[in-house]
Structure 1
């Protein structure tokens, strides 16, 4: 008998949704447009950065070995297009006004001063060992360190600044190393190539492999689960609106005085919207698998991962439904539920890592992100897609999502009972 009542509640929800064609379009079409648009933008941006060069003003006051080596390294990086027809003042004005992202100014006599500095230090070291050579004539005072001036557009991303400064530091360090080796060779009179194999430690990135192929993360692997989660949580809006409609039309009163327990009414909504959540996710996956390759985007690989992803989808859907039930129970009008529901979903998405990766957020926001159900769902998807985890690896996240659903529905039932207590 209870199952029959649950079935009738499910049918009622389906009939309500059939009357709201606009809501159905929003639930299914809007997420598909979002995932296609966002993925295309991100992938196009990535490809443009790979295929184009950033114009950089390069001013060389040294015009000697070191500055020429730096210039050569920058040109060989295939990242920068060097512009040289500027003075330092005009370069500064152009960069600070936003016309160019950066300018590099090499100081005068850089090569000469570096050579003098290195020779002075090498001579001091050789002399300290009592290895006086013919080349050690006069101990000269080392010149002061030179500074390469870097001008950045004030709107330039801090990550870009750090990358450029690290790259230039590395270039200068390697140039200095070569000169130090050469200076020791000259002082000691050796013909052995001291510079050969000078690097004793290297770096090798170990990436996950599928067969013989390396698995490299791409924009699709983030956008499909991320925007599927956004779509799943966006059902908060139509679900809360339907609950408010039932209150305004008297349907909720009839549900309370009927012999059917009120929680069956909530379970009927849960099953109905849970099916919608799974359909939304399957549509997103279908776009990633079948449509993206035709749009010159990477294909979304779900080989051996579909079952655990469906499990995550179900529990994420439960969390979204619980939140929608609570909002619809507390709100008195559609004007309250609709804007608050939409805004809250956007906020949860922002702090949950849907738009900006959590590790890029300030430490305070990283702590807050741990309490976002969207973050739990996204981490679970990442564990499956990128870290090859199974059900055991996502147990914590799906437990949190289920407890969130229980808490939201529990608060809703308590509030409903208290509001209508005689």
Structure 2
């Protein structure tokens, strides 16, 4: 009997949804357009950084050894195209006006000053060991070298700035090291070329492998789960609107006075919208597998991962449904539920790491993110797709999502009883 009542409740929800075909189309089509657009934009950005060089202004006032080495390093790289027909004043105006991302200005006498400083420091070190020659007894005073000026467009990403500054610092550091080696070689009279010694410490990135092939994360692996989760939580809007409609049309009153318990009514909604969530996810995965390769995007690989991904989708859907039930129970009008539902989903997405990675957030926001159901779902998806975890590895996130659903529904039932208590 209970199963029959649950089935009738499910049929009722299907009939309600059939009356709003436009809303159903939005639920399914909007996330697909979103994931395609965002993935294309991000993938194009990655390809531009790899294939198309970024034009930057390079002004060489030194025109000597070190500045030429710096220029050569930039030209040999695959990232920048150097523009040299500028003065420092015109470069500053062009960059600050947004015409170019950045400008690098090499000061006059940079090579001469660095050579002088290196010679002076090496002579001081050699003298402290009593190894100086008569020809090197006269010590030159260190000369302050002018700074290399870096101009950045105010709208430039801070990560881009840091990368460029790190690159320039590394170039100058290597050049200074070679100068120091050469100066010691001259002072000590050795014939060994100290400047050609290899780095004592090197770095080797160890990446996950599938067989003999390295597994390299791509934009698709990040965007499909992230925007699938966003789509799942967006059902909060139609679900809450339907609950408000039932209150305004008297359907909820008939449900309360019927022999069927009210929680069966909620379970019927849960079952219906859970099916919608799974369909949404499957559509997103289908786009990643079958459509993206035709758009020159990486294919979404779910080999051996589909079952745990569906499990996460079900529990993420439960969390979204619980939130929608609470919102629809508390709201009195569609004007309250619709905008608040949409806004709250966007806020949860921002807090949960959909828009910005959690590790880039301020510390207090990282703490808040730990309590976001969208963050639990996103971490579970990433654990499966990027970290090759199984059900055991995502058990904590699944439990949190289910407890969130139970808490939201329990609060909704309590509020409903209190509001209709005689």
TM range (shorter): over 0.9
Could you list the per-position Cα deviations for residues 58-79 of structure 1 after superposition, in whole angstroms to 9, with x for gaps in the alignment? 1111111001001101111121
1:134 to partner: Cα distance: 4.5
Conserved in 2, the CA contact under 8 Å of 1:315 and 1:398? Answer: yes
Alpha-carbon separation, structure 1, partners of 2:295 and 2:141:
64
- Which residue pairs with 2:148 in the alignment? 148
SS at match of 1:195: helix
SS at match of 1:58: strand
Alpha-carbon separation, structure 2, partners of 1:292 and 1:3:
41
Taking structure 1 as the reference length, what is the TM-score of the superposition?
A: 0.98
After TM superposition, list the pairs within 5 Å mapping 1:16-415 onto structure 2. 16-415=16-415
Alpha-carbon separation, structure 2, partners of 1:291 and 1:269:
32
- In the alignment of these two chains, the number of paired residues is 422
1:356 to partner: Cα distance: 1.4
Alpha-carbon separation, structure 2, partners of 1:135 and 1:318:
83
SS at match of 2:365: helix
Conserved in 2, the CA contact under 8 Å of 1:31 and 1:228? Answer: yes
Could you list the per-position Cα deviations for residues 70-123 of structure 1 after superposition, in whole angstroms to 9, with x for gaps in the alignment? 110111112111111111122122222222221111111111111111111111
Could you list the per-position Cα deviations for residues 255-303 of structure 1 after superposition, in whole angstroms to 9, with x for gaps in the alignment? 1011111001101110111111111111111111111111111000001
SS at match of 1:131: coil
Could you list the per-position Cα deviations for residues 402-421 of structure 1 after superposition, in whole angstroms to 9, with x for gaps in the alignment? 11101100000000000010
1:133 to partner: Cα distance: 2.0
* Structure 1 segments unaligned to the other structure (5+ residues): none
Conserved in 2, the CA contact under 8 Å of 1:221 and 1:385? Answer: yes
Alpha-carbon separation, structure 1, partners of 2:240 and 2:148:
60
Could you list the per-position Cα deviations for residues 357-404 of structure 1 after superposition, in whole angstroms to 9, with x for gaps in the alignment? 111222222222111111110000000000011111111111111111
Q: In terms of mean alpha carbon deviation, does 323-332 or 149-158 score higher? A: 149-158
Where has structure 1 moved over 3 Å in runs of 4 or more? none
Q: CA RMSD in A?
A: 1.1
Conserved in 2, the CA contact under 8 Å of 1:135 and 1:187? Answer: no
Alpha-carbon separation, structure 1, partners of 2:208 and 2:187:
49
Conserved in 1, the CA contact under 8 Å of 2:244 and 2:333? Answer: yes
Taking structure 2 as the reference length, what is the TM-score of the superposition?
A: 0.98
Conserved in 1, the CA contact under 8 Å of 2:110 and 2:145? Answer: no
Alpha-carbon separation, structure 2, partners of 1:406 and 1:311:
17
Alpha-carbon separation, structure 2, partners of 1:316 and 1:89:
55
